Amino acid sequence: MSSVISTNDAITFPHTPIIAYNETSGLRISAWILSILGMLMMGYSVWKYRNAVFTSGLRMVLASSATILVAEILNRFAFFIVK
Protein backbone atom coordinates (compact mmCIF):
# COMPACT_ATOMS: atom_id res chain seq x y z
CA MET A 1 0.00 0.00 0.00
CA SER A 2 2.98 2.32 0.31
CA SER A 3 3.20 2.67 -3.47
CA VAL A 4 -0.41 3.80 -3.91
CA ILE A 5 -0.63 7.20 -5.55
CA SER A 6 -3.54 9.24 -4.29
CA THR A 7 -4.82 12.35 -6.03
CA ASN A 8 -7.93 14.34 -5.28
CA ASP A 9 -10.63 11.76 -5.98
CA ALA A 10 -8.84 8.88 -7.66
CA ILE A 11 -6.56 6.14 -6.38
CA THR A 12 -4.23 4.50 -8.89
CA PHE A 13 -2.64 1.17 -8.06
CA PRO A 14 0.76 0.43 -9.64
CA HIS A 15 -0.05 -2.64 -11.68
CA THR A 16 -0.77 -3.17 -15.32
CA PRO A 17 -3.46 -5.75 -16.01
CA ILE A 18 -2.41 -6.21 -19.65
CA ILE A 19 1.04 -7.43 -18.62
CA ALA A 20 -0.45 -9.82 -16.05
CA TYR A 21 -2.92 -11.06 -18.70
CA ASN A 22 -0.14 -11.68 -21.22
CA GLU A 23 1.99 -13.52 -18.66
CA THR A 24 -0.77 -16.06 -17.99
CA SER A 25 -1.29 -17.09 -21.60
CA GLY A 26 0.14 -20.58 -21.07
CA LEU A 27 -2.07 -21.12 -18.03
CA ARG A 28 -5.16 -19.94 -19.90
CA ILE A 29 -4.43 -22.11 -22.94
CA SER A 30 -3.81 -25.20 -20.82
CA ALA A 31 -7.05 -24.56 -18.90
CA TRP A 32 -8.98 -24.28 -22.17
CA ILE A 33 -7.40 -27.46 -23.51
CA LEU A 34 -8.35 -29.31 -20.32
CA SER A 35 -11.90 -27.96 -20.55
CA ILE A 36 -12.29 -29.13 -24.12
CA LEU A 37 -10.73 -32.50 -23.30
CA GLY A 38 -13.09 -32.96 -20.35
CA MET A 39 -16.13 -32.09 -22.46
CA LEU A 40 -15.04 -34.49 -25.20
CA MET A 41 -14.50 -37.24 -22.63
CA MET A 42 -17.94 -36.60 -21.14
CA GLY A 43 -19.60 -36.65 -24.55
CA TYR A 44 -17.78 -39.83 -25.53
CA SER A 45 -18.76 -41.58 -22.30
CA VAL A 46 -22.42 -40.63 -22.74
CA TRP A 47 -22.34 -41.74 -26.39
CA LYS A 48 -20.42 -44.99 -25.89
CA TYR A 49 -22.14 -46.11 -22.67
CA ARG A 50 -25.56 -44.62 -23.40
CA ASN A 51 -27.38 -47.71 -22.14
CA ALA A 52 -25.51 -47.83 -18.83
CA VAL A 53 -23.76 -44.50 -18.27
CA PHE A 54 -23.86 -44.73 -14.48
CA THR A 55 -22.70 -48.33 -14.29
CA SER A 56 -20.25 -49.14 -17.10
CA GLY A 57 -19.24 -45.58 -17.96
CA LEU A 58 -19.03 -44.22 -14.43
CA ARG A 59 -15.23 -44.16 -14.34
CA MET A 60 -15.05 -42.06 -17.50
CA VAL A 61 -17.80 -39.74 -16.28
CA LEU A 62 -15.91 -39.19 -13.03
CA ALA A 63 -12.60 -38.69 -14.85
CA SER A 64 -14.13 -36.16 -17.22
CA SER A 65 -15.82 -34.35 -14.34
CA ALA A 66 -12.51 -34.14 -12.50
CA THR A 67 -10.80 -32.84 -15.65
CA ILE A 68 -13.45 -30.15 -16.10
CA LEU A 69 -13.16 -29.20 -12.41
CA VAL A 70 -9.37 -28.83 -12.62
CA ALA A 71 -9.74 -26.76 -15.80
CA GLU A 72 -12.26 -24.47 -14.10
CA ILE A 73 -9.94 -23.98 -11.12
CA LEU A 74 -7.10 -23.07 -13.50
CA ASN A 75 -9.37 -20.64 -15.36
CA ARG A 76 -10.37 -18.92 -12.15
CA PHE A 77 -6.76 -18.82 -10.95
CA ALA A 78 -5.71 -17.20 -14.24
CA PHE A 79 -8.58 -14.71 -13.96
CA PHE A 80 -7.69 -13.57 -10.46
CA ILE A 81 -3.91 -13.29 -10.93
CA VAL A 82 -2.77 -9.72 -10.36
CA LYS A 83 0.88 -8.89 -10.12
Please write the tens of the pLDDT for every residue from 45-82.
989 888 887 788 889 999 999 999 999 999 999 888 86
Q: What is the pLDDT of residue 23?
A: 85
| Residues 49, 56 contacting (CB under 8 angstroms) | yes
What is the C-alpha separation between 32 and 42, in angstroms, rounded?
15
Which amino acid appears at position 60 of this protein?
A: M
- Tell me if the pTM is above 0.85: no
Backbone angles phi, psi at 7, to 5 degrees: -115, -170
The Cβ of residue 46 has, within 10 Å, a number of other Cβ atoms equal to: 14
Give tens-digit pLDDT for 1-30.
Answer: 455 555 556 556 556 777 777 888 999 999
Phi, psi of 6 (to 5 degrees): -115, 125
